[in-house]
Amino acid sequence: MAKRLFKELERAYGFDEVAIVPGQVTINPDMTSTKMTLGHHSFDIPVLASAMDGAVSPSFATLMHQMGGLGVLNAEGLYTRYEDPYSVLEEIISMPQAEATGYLQQVYSEPIQEHLVGERVQEIRKSGSTCAVSFTPQNTKRMSPVAVEAGADIVVVQSTVTTARHMSRSYRGLIFSELIDTLKVPVVVGNCVTYEVAQELMETGIDGILVGVGPGAACTTREVVGVGVPQVTATLECAAAREDYFRRTGRYVSVITDGGLRTGGDICKAIVSGADGVMLGTPFAQAAEAPGRGFNWGMANPHPELPRGTRIGVGTKGTLSQILYGPTSVTDGTQNFVGALKVAMGMCGAYTIRDLHKADMIIAPAIKTEGKYFQFAGA
Amino acid sequence: MAKRLFKELERAYGFDEVAIVPGQVTINPDMTSTKMTLGHHSFDIPVLASAMDGAVSPSFATLMHQMGGLGVLNAEGLYTRYEDPYSVLEEIISMPQAEATGYLQQVYSEPIQEHLVGERVQEIRKSGSTCAVSFTPQNTKRMSPVAVEAGADIVVVQSTVTTARHMSRSYRGLIFSELIDTLKVPVVVGNCVTYEVAQELMETGIDGILVGVGPGAACTTREVVGVGVPQVTATLECAAAREDYFRRTGRYVSVITDGGLRTGGDICKAIVSGADGVMLGTPFAQAAEAPGRGFNWGMANPHPELPRGTRIGVGTKGTLSQILYGPTSVTDGTQNFVGALKVAMGMCGAYTIRDLHKADMIIAPAIKTEGKYFQFAGA
Amino acid sequence: MAKRLFKELERAYGFDEVAIVPGQVTINPDMTSTKMTLGHHSFDIPVLASAMDGAVSPSFATLMHQMGGLGVLNAEGLYTRYEDPYSVLEEIISMPQAEATGYLQQVYSEPIQEHLVGERVQEIRKSGSTCAVSFTPQNTKRMSPVAVEAGADIVVVQSTVTTARHMSRSYRGLIFSELIDTLKVPVVVGNCVTYEVAQELMETGIDGILVGVGPGAACTTREVVGVGVPQVTATLECAAAREDYFRRTGRYVSVITDGGLRTGGDICKAIVSGADGVMLGTPFAQAAEAPGRGFNWGMANPHPELPRGTRIGVGTKGTLSQILYGPTSVTDGTQNFVGALKVAMGMCGAYTIRDLHKADMIIAPAIKTEGKYFQFAGA
Amino acid sequence: MAKRLFKELERAYGFDEVAIVPGQVTINPDMTSTKMTLGHHSFDIPVLASAMDGAVSPSFATLMHQMGGLGVLNAEGLYTRYEDPYSVLEEIISMPQAEATGYLQQVYSEPIQEHLVGERVQEIRKSGSTCAVSFTPQNTKRMSPVAVEAGADIVVVQSTVTTARHMSRSYRGLIFSELIDTLKVPVVVGNCVTYEVAQELMETGIDGILVGVGPGAACTTREVVGVGVPQVTATLECAAAREDYFRRTGRYVSVITDGGLRTGGDICKAIVSGADGVMLGTPFAQAAEAPGRGFNWGMANPHPELPRGTRIGVGTKGTLSQILYGPTSVTDGTQNFVGALKVAMGMCGAYTIRDLHKADMIIAPAIKTEGKYFQFAGA
């Protein structure tokens, strides 16, 4: 049996299936540096907040900057469709669940107002913050110059699956090398999950790639269309592409694992898998300062007849400061992401993020046991 | 330990254990074609409805035709045993659950009326629809000519496990090559799950094979008799047989994955596994237009003393049109099968079903996480 | 990491992790024979009932004989400790659960009465039934001749783990070759799980081996002492030993998979793994005719300070006839074991048990899905 | 896909994923010896109680000695911070759960009193017991001489992850070879999980290593920082290091698996994995004589802003004598650890712990089945 198969299948892994192996040398966490670079920009922590309207508003982007990270503003969301997005947010939040999906479809059918793109960028820049805005490939060519002219520091081009060679009837394919020549700011593109696509995207001159298609175990994209790659394997592939590209060209493209991360442990595992940074949505939508005030919902969906996201009550878990830096009394890994990262770096003897890339990782499924008494080594 | 074993065991995979890898090139979903052929017949969508009395009535078969697919009528079910099958259906549906199995055994013990076989075929043909009818191997030789004479376009010969070389005391083995010479319409045979059996069946001259024995994870055939192969592996084997047979003979036999599919994602995975089409029962029994009106039950069971199916309340989920084409508000993949297929094709850069055969697939078990917040890439 | 390990670990498999692959030729179930031999004895069905007091009484052994199988009487249980075991059974059954373990310890501390061993054997023989009795290794040398003299046809020597070279301070090791010379009836020995031990036991001249140590997934022996091998792998190893021994000596020793079987599917899988027969306890304790009347409990435990069994309410599921031959209305595989076996044999084109040894098997974990709609191939 | 990955991942295993294979020879459990040595000290049973304040008080350490094992006193806990630790224990135990974490943080912020270190050691020594005390690396250099001067027999140096080459700004790295020269008593160091670190630690001259980082399946260290290695693999690695080191130097360093053990079966598996002894916390905190009286909590946490432990109600399960030696009426493996070990040794034909190192082990996941009827071989 199984002698002749139509194709071979390789095993892929997600965060819940791996664990980091402590190193041969350990260091004190206070000796570690968590710096990340994106093009010529440098950040104290390798953490981005996703371009989701429930997570990142202009003021949340400013707060992320003050905390050392980067909040990406969705330039095709409420903030660029409405002069007053806050009253729309208010409506979304107070809507009964049964009417939420319909209401979202309605409010996102309003057109994007180009002048608001510029205004939102200026709003973020005014506070002295690094400003990153995201577009879908369809709108990037037309709208991203508006954002850059207004002062945007980083442009993110993002769709569920993005390749360097997208074919389309309805609009001339976006050519990333041309875009980069035009904008003259770092461009981050995603999402992708394979060595080949990551390589091709890097060849176009981009400064960062977003890794992640259908990453969550219960991910709707995987349920609905069957497509997806668990994040550890996806990151391992794209990081291999980055290394090969770097060896060949001397240019370092940042790999950002985007989606499916819930805990500090997940962030550490993404980096050991080769990520230079991570991007999270829901954990930031759960911040007290998030515009969604306990709710989150997907980006404007390119396939309205096939929804893969709706409004979800995610709750409020703590301040952004607690989520990133603690202190915290929860022991489930959902707070103090940076503290967790520094402890893991200490256990692996890693002074920098790139040192942490060298740590070993094993396959060790998190089988839940009934008793949860064993909460630390030595228990 | 384990140095010497009586036999080697290979690992087999089901839909829930794999995921499709996006391609190097992506295309817009509106540029894809989902056409399938069966012999000289062509269909807009690669989707068949199973020959189950709760799913396919003559009028449902007509509806499937109008939607671009194919509904197979069970020629040994209620429609050919009763002049008025609808009052029997009414009884089955309104029966208390405790009496349902007994009542089903009773109504299916009525003899098949050959004249009704012809009449049901004519009923479907009258509407201009392509007509496919299914028989068990025991009755095929005697009854299928009746159906073809009445205008049936496709004959399906189906049992739990079908081989080209069945041995029996009670009836002379059906010889498929003779059948094909007699009928002169495309013949689809199943079910099978291995390279060898698929090859032997193709050699007989059939136009399609049905793949699937005990496919569902909770499948009763596997529980009761221990026999079954998960659908991804079964399809990979039979598709390999099709390719080898095609290379050798130039004749292309369609591989149809039958059973165990629940979602659009499952359909996409079946096709990436090498299927040319898929056949589903329960998802169509859940259509508003289905004759079972929210109930489904097995085909007349060849082993009444060892039941492997009873009446099940499957509920009504939407119209056939919604199930196949949306729009839908559910995000669990159970509606808009064709939309999902076209999105997956776009993500894999596949213009046709046979292009989608070339996509990569990985092993990535769908471990359910408690939180279900991560509903799309980038969340 | 993991470069140097103290020892290598091989993967072992249980019933729930495998499935049988249908064969290249299929036959009608009514053409199959399920005969099993044990020494010079032949049985219509390859099914033994375990030597457990809640399952096999003298009259139940007779019933098993009439049904074509073999019920093994525990010669160290209630039937040989009490003139009137039925009043003790009555007490055990009516005892509140809290007092059951204590009461069992008490009633099993009564001494075995040798004259009752002979009387129970005669009781079974009187009905014309083949009589098999089981002893622990400690008592075999002394008591088994009593049983054989009274007419016992088969002697079973059974402990949790049995080897040909047991070392003990408290009694001179039982030497199987001497035992066989003395008794001159077929001897079945167990339990074992590895190629090497099976080989050594076969060399002593025994006629059958029992396979199974800590087989159940939730097995207490595995929980308490960590020892056990899943039954598919254990059977594959012992069957390999049987084949090698047979090739070398021309003598065929029957391999009987004992423990961990719940369904007809499990029985089929044991035989495809290489078993010549199967032995079940609880499924027979669930028969209407079982002496435990809905309860079951372990054999006298050699380690009273480390209990690995107590009285369990197993319920009554049907008559022995239904459990073995149906008809049945349950679809979970717990009834009509022989029907299931014959159907599986048909699907694999196996005329005999030894033909079924040649069937293929795959690794295909039974992951439970929420929806259980897909109850048969083609659904 | 997956052709090029950033790094390779090996599979690691925990207790729930393996099972011990019975041996070719079996012996009676009463012929086995469970002796363990640590430096020049010898113990009747290879079992240590963890240095947790809820598990080991001076009197509990004495009790462990009388039972043949070793209780390690936390020399940085309540007993060395308070003249009267028992009233603090009383407070911790009676505190409402909501206030427990805060109260623990408060009481553990009191300074360690060096004179109490000596007094607690004398308290244990006075009873004639072997006395082992544990320190964190930060305090070892300063405080361990105090303990040894007072009569401590064994010094344990323990942190979540310990290496021979720890780098720190805040204190000069502890050099184990110097420590050993100074103290002149056996030193046990941990925790570690890899061959390389175990080797380096052994080179320093230590007498024992503790194995285990984030071992529990639901371990908070793994959840929070993503770091951990399941115990079977960790023990297999460290035992390989011990063997290689022993072959090279002739010096035998004891490997003690610490953490994640719940049952007698787990203890047996740790030893088959190569451990010379095991260390458990919660199972001893569940003893009637434990100072935590049904509660347990972590050692003073070096990262207060990232808690990985709080007060947990673990309940009281039996006397220490029952937990170690039975008799018991539970069948879940949580009592009679030594009985279980001796039974497993018997099944593997192991006269000594080092004989049990030679037993085979397999990968056999403990998939829970619904029915739990099969409680012993032959059922």
Residues of B in contact with A298 (CB under 8 A): 375-376, 379
Domains by residue range for chain C, with CATH: 15-296+311-363 (3.20.20.70)
pLDDT of residue A171: 58
Whether A378 shows a pLDDT value over 50: the answer reads no
Tokens of D357: 């190192």
CB contact under 8 A, D309 and A241: no
Taking the alpha carbons at both ends of chain D, their separation in whole angstroms is 47
- The number of residues in chain A equals 379
Across-strand partners of B256? Answer: B210, B277
Place of tokens 């990232």: D306
Mean of all residue pLDDT scores within chain D: 90
Mean of the per-residue pLDDT values for chain C? 90
Closest chain B C-alpha to C365 CA, distance in angstroms: 8
Q: How far apart are CA B233 and CA C21, in angstroms?
A: 11
C376/chain D closest Cα distance in angstroms: 22
What interhelical angle do D231-249 and D195-203 show, nearest 10? 40
- Bridge-partner residues for B11, per DSSP? C363
**Percent of chain B residues past pLDDT 90, beyond the cut:** 77
Q: What is the pLDDT of residue D166?
A: 86
pLDDT digits (tens, 9 = 90+) for A201-253: 999 999 999 999 977 544 567 788 999 999 999 999 999 999 999 999 999 99
> What whole-number distance in Å separates Cα of residue B207 and Cα of residue C104?
66
- Chain D residue numbers with beta carbons less than 8 Å from the beta carbon of A357 are 6
Q: Residues with Cβ < 8 Å from A90, sequence gap 6 or more?
A: none
Partner residue opposite C1 with nearest CB, options A1, A2, A21: A21
Best C188, C196, C225 member to test D by mutation, with max D CBs in 10 Å, is: C225
CA distance B30 to chain C (A): 31
What are the chain C neighbours of B8 within 8 Å (beta carbons)?
none
CB of C352 closer than 8 Å to CB of C362: no
For A236, the enclosing helix (H) or strand (E) is helix A231-249
Q: What is the pLDDT of residues C282-335, one digit of tens each?
A: 999 999 999 999 999 876 454 455 555 678 889 999 999 999 999 877 778 899
Q: C-chain residues within 8 Å CB-CB of B213? A: 22, 347, 377
Residue C167 to residue D29, Cβ atoms within 8 A: no
Q: Do D362 and B21 touch (CB under 8 A)?
A: no
Q: Do residues B278 and B28 touch, judged by C-beta distance below 8 A?
A: no
The answer to whether the Cβ–Cβ distance between C268 and B169 falls below 8 Å is: no
- Chain A's closest residue to B322, CA to CA, is A305
pLDDT at residue number B132 = 98
Nearest-angstrom CA–CA distance, D252 and D231: 21
Helix axes B195-203, B231-249, angle to 10 degrees: 40
Minimum distance, in Å, between the CA of residue C124 and any CA atom of chain D = 22
Q: Cα angle vertex C28, ends C27, C29, to 5°? A: 110
pLDDT tens per residue, range B111-155: 999 999 999 999 999 999 999 999 999 899 999 999 999 999 999
Interchain CB distance below 8 Å, A344 and D225:
yes
The rounded percent of chain C whose pLDDT value lies above 70 is 91
Residue with the bigger pLDDT between D347 and B331: it is D347
Q: Examine the pLDDT at B219 and tell me if it is beyond 90.
A: no
- Give the chains touching D; criterion: ≥3 Cβ pairs < 8 Å: A, B, C
Distance to chain B for D1, nearest Cα, Å: 7
> Between D1, D2, D360, which is nearest B1 by CB?
D360
Which chains border C (3 or more CB–CB pairs < 8 Å)? A, B, D
| Residue numbers in A near C2 (CB within 8 A) | 362
Given pLDDT bands bounded at 50, 70 and 90, which one contains residue A372?
Answer: very low
Using alpha carbons only, give the angle D21, D27, D31 rounded to the nearest 5 degrees: 125
pLDDT of D216 strictly over 80: no
- pTM reported for the whole predicted model: 0.93
Asked whether the beta carbons of residue C223 and residue D332 sit closer than 8 angstroms, the reply is: yes
Task: Name the token pair of D245.
Answer: 């080191």
User: What's the rounded Cα separation, in Å, for the pair A272 and A275?
Assistant: 7
C361 to chain A: closest CA residue: A1
CA angle D209, D166, D38 (to 5 degrees): 15
**Per-residue model confidence as pLDDT tens digits over A19-63:** 999 999 999 999 999 999 999 999 999 999 999 999 999 999 999
What DSSP designation does D22 have?
A: P
Residue B11 buriedness (CB in 10 A; 0-12 / 13-18 / 19+): middle
Minimal CA separation from C248 to chain D, in Å: 21
Residues C2, D10: C-beta atoms closer than 8 Å:
yes
Confidence bin at D219 (pLDDT 50/70/90): low
- pLDDT exceeds cutoff 80 at B166: yes
Looking up tokens 């709707």 gives: A220
CA distances from B178 to B186, B251, B336 (A): 13, 18, 40
The closest of D166, D189, D224, D227 to A28, measured between CA atoms, is: D166
Sort out which chain A residues have CB atoms less than 8 A from C360's CB and list them: 1
The answer to whether residues D278 and D269 touch, using CB atoms and an 8 Å cutoff, is no
Give the rounded percent of residues in chain D with a pLDDT score beyond 90: 77
* pLDDT above 50 for A273: yes
Rounded to the nearest angstrom, the minimum Cα separation between B305 and chain A is: 31
Q: Phi, psi (5° rounding) for residue D312?
A: -125, 135
Report CA-CA distances (Å) from A162 to A223, B272, D201.
19, 20, 49
Across the interface, of B9, B167, B216, the residue whose CB is closest to C374 is B216
pLDDT in tens, B329-338: 777 889 999 9
The full length of chain D comes to 379
Of D264, D266, D265, D246, which Cα lies nearest the Cα of D255?
A: D246
H/E element, A363: strand A360-363
Q: What is the pLDDT of residue C303?
A: 47
Mean pLDDT, chain B, integer = 90
- How much is the average pLDDT of C77-92? 96
Cβ of C378 and B193 within 8 Å?
no
Residue in C closest to B222 by C-alpha: C265
Q: Mean pLDDT over residues D254-276, rounded?
A: 96
Among D238, D325, D352, D374, the residue to mutate for chain C (most C Cβ within 10 A): D374
Q: Which of B345-349, C1-5, D126-130 has the lowest mean pLDDT?
A: C1-5
Q: Which of D104, D167, D111, D109 is nearest to D137 (CA)?
A: D167
Mean pLDDT of B300-328: 77
Mind listing the pLDDT tens digit for each residue in D274-318? 999 999 999 999 999 999 999 998 764 544 555 556 788 899 999
Q: What ipTM is given for this predicted complex?
A: 0.92
